[in-house]
Amino acid sequence: MARTTGSHSDITGPRVRAAALKLFARHGFAAVSMRQIATEVGVQAGALYNYTPDKQTLLFELMRDHMDELLVAVQDDPNAPVLQRLEHFVRFHIGFHSERPDAVFIAYMELRNLDAENFARIEVLRSQYEAVLQRILRDGAAARSFDVADPKIAAWAVIAMLTGVNTWFRDGGRLSLDDVQDQYWNMVRRMVGTV
């Protein structure tokens, strides 16, 4: 036996995913060819197929990995004060998403390029994330800490608003991440009618 450890696949594999992530985010899944990804990695197109069975799976796994990371990272303590839980969620969402703009972009833009089965899988993960915020809003409404007519819609509204940050926020711009988190937390706090 030879070449089991220290083989290049440990290096090339991540580089393939990184190149795909970058190019898909920049130009869109359908507009990027396997040869473009290969060139970015510094390899021939055929070599990519050591790391993914096909282009569709490459996209799906990028999205799934992103959603998995998101679900692991979001943490909600049901025993904490509900206002604090909401603040934590808002700051977390902005912070987490601002650190991986490419993955976020792909996760929101390339859903329609997934086949039906993969689409359904991603949708499950997305719903699980939304459910975290819905739970917070429902608990807050039940405790009369919040005044939200429809927690589902309020959750969608908050998430859309927070995710929108990624369209303009750039590190080193006019506002620091902290500034942005403060401002959005302020807006969300009012939005849910905190009493």
Nearer to DNA by C-beta: 60 or 184? 60
Provide the binding-site residues for DNA, judged by CB under 7 A: 1-12, 32-36, 38, 42-47, 49-50, 53-56
Which listed option, a copy of itself, DNA, none, makes contact with residue 159 (CB within 5 to 8 Å by class)?
a copy of itself
Q: Among residues 113, 134, 145, 181, which is the contact residue for a copy of itself, using CB under 8 A?
A: 113
Q: What is the 3-state secondary structure (H, E, C) of the chain?
A: CCCCCCCCHHHHHHHHHHHHHHHHHHHCHHHCCHHHHHHHHCCCHHHHHHCCCCHHHHHHHHHHHHHHHHHHHCCCCCCCCHHHHHHHHHHHHHHHHHHCHHHHHHHHHCHHHCCHHHHHHHHHHHHHHHHHHHHHHHHHHHCCCCCCCCHHHHHHHHHHHHHHHHHCCCCCCCCCHHHHHHHHHHHHHHHCCCC
Q: Binders of a copy of itself among 122-161, rule CB under 8 A? A: 149-150, 153-154, 156-161
Which listed option, a copy of itself, DNA, none, makes contact with residue 47 (CB within 5 to 8 Å by class)?
DNA
Q: Among residues 4, 167, 171, 172, which is the contact residue for a copy of itself, using CB under 8 A?
A: 167
Q: Does 180 bind a copy of itself (CB under 8 A)?
A: yes
Which listed option, DNA, a copy of itself, none, makes contact with residue 55 (CB within 5 to 8 Å by class)?
DNA
Nearer to DNA by C-beta: 32 or 107? 32
